[in-house]
Amino acid sequence: MLDWWERWQIPLYLAALVLGALIGLAAPATAPAFEVAINPVLMALLYATFLSVPLTKVGQALRDGRFLAGLTVLNFLIVPVVVYLLSRFVADDQALLLGVLLAPCIDYVIAFSGLADPARLRLLSQLSVEGCGPVSVGELTETSGLSQPTVSHHLKRLTEAGLLDKVRVGRTVTHQVRPELFAELRTVLQMD
């Protein structure tokens, strides 16, 4: 269930936003009935979002300087700029503007930091080494210090995010960084 939720979370959120907008525009008289559902729905969404956070890895993440730096930059620089730019669309409506600016940014950070898992970054760093061709799960397991199921899980997530290409060589499935992303990843991962 968690894998399904993690995979479809953003499309489900977008679908819910579109559905809410359509209902609001088509039947504005229903607003009072839906208004009482706002807090319970937000609590359910935050609960579902926190389900995808591996709480057993929080201590490890708090000791990972790169992860904390990335999270800090995302939460205090990038997200506020994006929210500010998006808020320009509702700047004329003070109530909407206040709602956008007072909404907590942490739920955005949690939803978009799925790729910021320290194990995923470690695997991505290994795959981003110049001259590194396709690498098998077994090879990554040996060099990363992670278990085979953990490596497989994170490679699946990175592939779904469009960061890796899966390459079949005979009976072996290998992974490699998508060539068009290689230069950008080297810069982001500070490998130069």
pLDDT tens-digit profile of 63-99?
878 877 887 887 778 877 887 787 777 777 777 766 6
Residue of 114 and 38 predicted with greater confidence = 38
* 3-state SS assignment for residue 113: coil
Mean pLDDT of 7-22: 84
* SS3 assignment, position 2: helix
Q: What is the pLDDT of residue 22?
A: 92
Instruction: Give which of 54, 57, 45, 58 is closest to 10, Cα–Cα.
Output: 45
Note the pLDDT of residue 183.
64
**Dihedral sign, CA of 166, 70, 130, 137?**
negative
Q: Is the pLDDT of residue 49 over 60?
A: yes
Burial class of 179 by CB neighbour count within 10 A (0 to 12, 13 to 18, 19+): exposed
Residue type (1 letter), 144? S
DSSP 162: T
Pick the CATH number of 115-189 from 1.10.10.10, 3.40.50.720, 2.160.20.10, 3.50.50.60: 1.10.10.10
The two tokens of residue 185 are: 């990843």
Q: What is the mean pLDDT of residues 36-54?
A: 75
Residue 26: which pLDDT band, with cuts at 50, 70 and 90?
very high
pLDDT in tens, 95-148: 776 666 666 555 555 545 555 577 887 887 788 775 677 889 999 999 888 899
The pLDDT of residue 156 is above 80: yes
Alpha-carbon distance of 18 to 43, in angstroms, equals 19
Determine the Cα angle at 101 with ends 99 and 105, to 5°.
105
DSSP-based three-state secondary structure for 176: strand
Judged against a pLDDT cut of 60, whether residue 56 lies above it is answered with yes
Q: Which residues, including other chains, have CB under 8 Å from residue 87's CB and lie 6 or more apart? A: 97, 100, 101
Q: Whole-angstrom Cα distance, residue 36 to residue 75?
A: 29
Strand partners, 166: 175
C-alpha count within 13 angstroms, C-beta hemisphere, residue 133: 4
Q: Does residue 191 surpass a pLDDT of 50?
A: no
